[in-house]
Amino acid sequence: MMRRLECNCCGGDAGRFRQWWNRDTGFGQCGRCTDWSLERGESLAHVRDMAGDPGVHRPQGELEAALVAKYGAEGAAALAGDAMRQAALAIKGE
């Protein structure tokens, strides 16, 4: 079931998606907050654990989309910590 979700990080609109099991009912995660967590070095695997799949349970962040476009799905999934922070900085500087 698709439903209107509220971001449980910033309280903003998190779009109309399926509920993810690891979020309270009615809550999801907006793209800005996903990008913010990536900039802090969190991995896409962590984002998925917490907030689900882009386009299914939450909107895809702009930075997230750019990372996947630049590194491919597997390459982007391998980024975490310093490597993720550096990749995010590089994209923001482009």
Question: Where on the chain is the footprint of Zn ion (CB under 5 A)?
Answer: 7, 9-10, 12, 30, 33
Whole-number Å distance between alpha carbons of 62 and 38? 11
Burial class (CB in 10 A: 0-12, 13-18, 19+), 73: exposed
Cβ distance to Zn ion smaller for residue 12 or 75: 12
SS3 94: coil
Minimum distance, C-beta of residue 8 to Zn ion, in the bound complex (Å): 8
Minimum distance, C-beta of residue 76 to Zn ion, in the bound complex (Å): 20
Minimum distance, C-beta of residue 50 to Zn ion, in the bound complex (Å): 12
Cβ distance to Zn ion smaller for residue 10 or 73: 10
Cβ 13 vs Cβ 7: under 8 Å: yes
